[in-house]
């Protein structure tokens, strides 16, 4: 917190010359920080429970907050989000997949994961978000799309990749991902969202989002993982860039963004193969790069999978 205090002092000096802009930026941060603190206080008792018992039905006001935020950033399908009460089958699958995760995921889940919520109709596979306690320590909650429990890993990854291309040229290529495993997509949701949490916890990438950067009070430009691949949070070095990278729209979650012409797929794929990224989505940000890298690595090296596209 001392670091954070110093950072705030520096910011207030800068704000003297940029008063209007800073006041609104500052109040947004304070509002988000207070919200995160209240959520931590509400959920902290969950930490005394086994991780599997932290899979719970999302409270109405948190569902509304998530829905409102997603709508505000253009995910129009968020109006259909519904909190799911996990069934006995959901819980059995969740528990069995928890055992398959990397040690780092398990350790951080045990100490810091406050809750896991299942949402029907969620726009993507899931979401990992952080909250804070009174000392500025980060804790987390995860949202998982309920469909992850019922769809195969291969079908999910195929859909995630293929859904961002339009259907105007039916004869053009489609993406089909095969992992040579029988897992459900839940394994990807837990690996990917869990990797975001491990990332925040250990700083594998310099920071997770702008509010997180401000919380940790550092302006680090690179880490061992991002060095020579990323210029900043959202921009890779030219050698790691690929055409239409900034137009990626998996699941078509952002209708206003539109879809990429399918005829562009072969060239995009050829360019992707020259980058260090394991997927198109890895090119979204350094956080997504890390989360997909960890997920694909674990599926291949530890769960016996092999990726073919
Ligand atoms: Zn992600």
CA distance 34 to 224: 32
Model pLDDT, residue 169: 60
- Measure CA 164 to chain center: 17
| Ligand 1 mean position, distance from CA 289 (Å) | 8
| Ligand 1 mean position, distance from CA 196 (Å) | 7
Model pLDDT, residue 307: 78
CA distance 112 to 134: 14
Kindly tell me the sign of the dihedral angle through the C-alpha atoms of 69, 64, 259, 228.
positive
| Ligand 1 mean position, distance from CA 217 (Å) | 23
8 A C-beta contact, residue 237 and residue 243: no
Find the DSSP H helices in the chain.
Answer: 2-17, 19-43, 60-72, 88-98, 103-112, 153-162, 186-202, 210-216, 265-272, 286-301
Model pLDDT, residue 202: 95
Name, in order, each residue with C-beta under 8 angstroms of 164's C-beta and a sequence gap of 6 or more.
248, 249, 250, 251, 252, 259, 260, 280
Burial pattern 88-108, b for ≥16 Cβ within 10 A else e, equals eebeebbeebbebbbebbbeb
Instruction: Report yes or no on 55 lying in a domain.
Output: yes
Instruction: Report yes or no on 75 lying in a domain.
Output: yes
Instruction: Report yes or no on 309 lying in a domain.
Output: no
| Ligand 1 mean position, distance from CA 31 (Å) | 24
Instruction: Report yes or no on 308 lying in a domain.
Output: no
CA distance 181 to 204: 28
* Token pair 């998982």 in the structure block, residue: 144
Instruction: Report yes or no on 306 lying in a domain.
Output: no
CA distance 286 to 231: 10
| Ligand 1 mean position, distance from CA 13 (Å) | 35
Instruction: Report yes or no on 143 lying in a domain.
Output: yes
CA distance 84 to 3: 40
DSSP-derived secondary structure letter, 230: E
| Ligand 1 mean position, distance from CA 123 (Å) | 12
| Ligand 1 mean position, distance from CA 15 (Å) | 33
90 to 36, 82, 147, 192: CA distances (angstroms): 28, 16, 11, 18
Both tokens of 105, joined, read 């995921």
| Ligand 1 mean position, distance from CA 209 (Å) | 12
Both tokens of 259, joined, read 């879809």
Domain span at 147: 2-301
CA distance 132 to 140: 8
Instruction: Report yes or no on 104 lying in a domain.
Output: yes
8 A C-beta contact, residue 182 and residue 151: no
Tally the domains of the chain: 1
Model pLDDT, residue 167: 84
CA distance 52 to 60: 21
pLDDT in 10s for each residue of the chain, 309 residues: 333 333 323 333 333 333 334 445 678 889 999 999 999 999 999 999 999 999 999 999 999 999 999 999 999 999 999 999 999 999 999 999 999 999 999 999 999 999 999 999 999 999 999 999 999 999 999 999 999 999 999 999 999 999 999 987 666 788 999 999 999 999 999 999 999 999 999 999 999 998 999 988 877 889 999 999 999 999 999 999 999 999 999 999 999 999 999 999 999 999 999 999 999 999 999 999 999 999 999 999 999 888 777
| Ligand 1 mean position, distance from CA 288 (Å) | 5
| Ligand 1 mean position, distance from CA 195 (Å) | 8
Nearest by Cα to 303 from 186, 224, 198, 197: 186
pTM assigned to the model: 0.90
CA distance 104 to 294: 11
Phi, psi of 119 (to 5 degrees): -125, 125
Instruction: Report yes or no on 249 lying in a domain.
Output: yes
Model pLDDT, residue 184: 98
| Ligand 1 mean position, distance from CA 238 (Å) | 22
Helix (H) or strand (E) holding 64: helix 60-72
176 to 58, 125, 154, 163, 173: CA distances (angstroms): 33, 17, 8, 11, 9
CA distance 97 to 185: 10
Model pLDDT, residue 7: 32
| Ligand 1 mean position, distance from CA 126 (Å) | 8
């Amino acid at each position: 917190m001392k670091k954070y205090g110093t950072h705030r002092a520096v910011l207030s000096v800068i704000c003297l010359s940029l008063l209007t802009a800073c006041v609104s930026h500052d109040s947004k941060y304070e509002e988000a920080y207070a919200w995160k603190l209240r959520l931590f206080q509400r959920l902290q008792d969950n930490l005394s429970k086994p991780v599997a018992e932290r899979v719970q039905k999302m409270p109405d006001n948190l569902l509304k907050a998530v829905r409102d935020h997603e709508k505000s950033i253009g995910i129009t399908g968020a109006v259909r989000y519904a909190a799911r009460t996990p069934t006995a089958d959901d819980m059995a699958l969740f528990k069995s997949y928890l055992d398959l995760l990397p040690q780092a995921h398990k350790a951080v889940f045990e100490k810091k994961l406050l809750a896991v919520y299942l949402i029907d109709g969620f726009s993507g596979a899931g979401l990992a978000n952080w909250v804070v306690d009174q000392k500025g320590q980060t804790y987390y909650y995860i949202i998982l799309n309920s469909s992850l429990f019922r769809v195969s890993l291969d079908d999910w990854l195929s859909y995630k990749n293929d859904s961002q291309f339009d259907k105007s040229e039916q004869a053009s290529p489609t993406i089909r991902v095969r992992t040579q495993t029988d897992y459900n997509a839940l394994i990807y949701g837990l690996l990917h969202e869990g990797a975001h949490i491990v990332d925040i916890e250990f700083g594998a990438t310099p920071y997770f989002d702008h509010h997180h950067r401000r919380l940790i009070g550092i302006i680090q430009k690179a880490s061992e993982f991002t060095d020579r691949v990323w210029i900043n949070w959202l921009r890779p070095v030219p050698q790691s860039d690929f055409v239409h990278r900034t137009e990626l729209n998996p699941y078509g979650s952002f209708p206003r963004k539109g879809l990429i012409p399918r005829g562009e797929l072969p060239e995009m794929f050829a360019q992707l193969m020259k980058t260090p990224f394991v997927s198109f989505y890895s090119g979204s940000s350094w956080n997504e790069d890390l989360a997909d890298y960890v997920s694909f690595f674990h599926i291949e090296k530890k769960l016996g999978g092999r990726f073919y596209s």
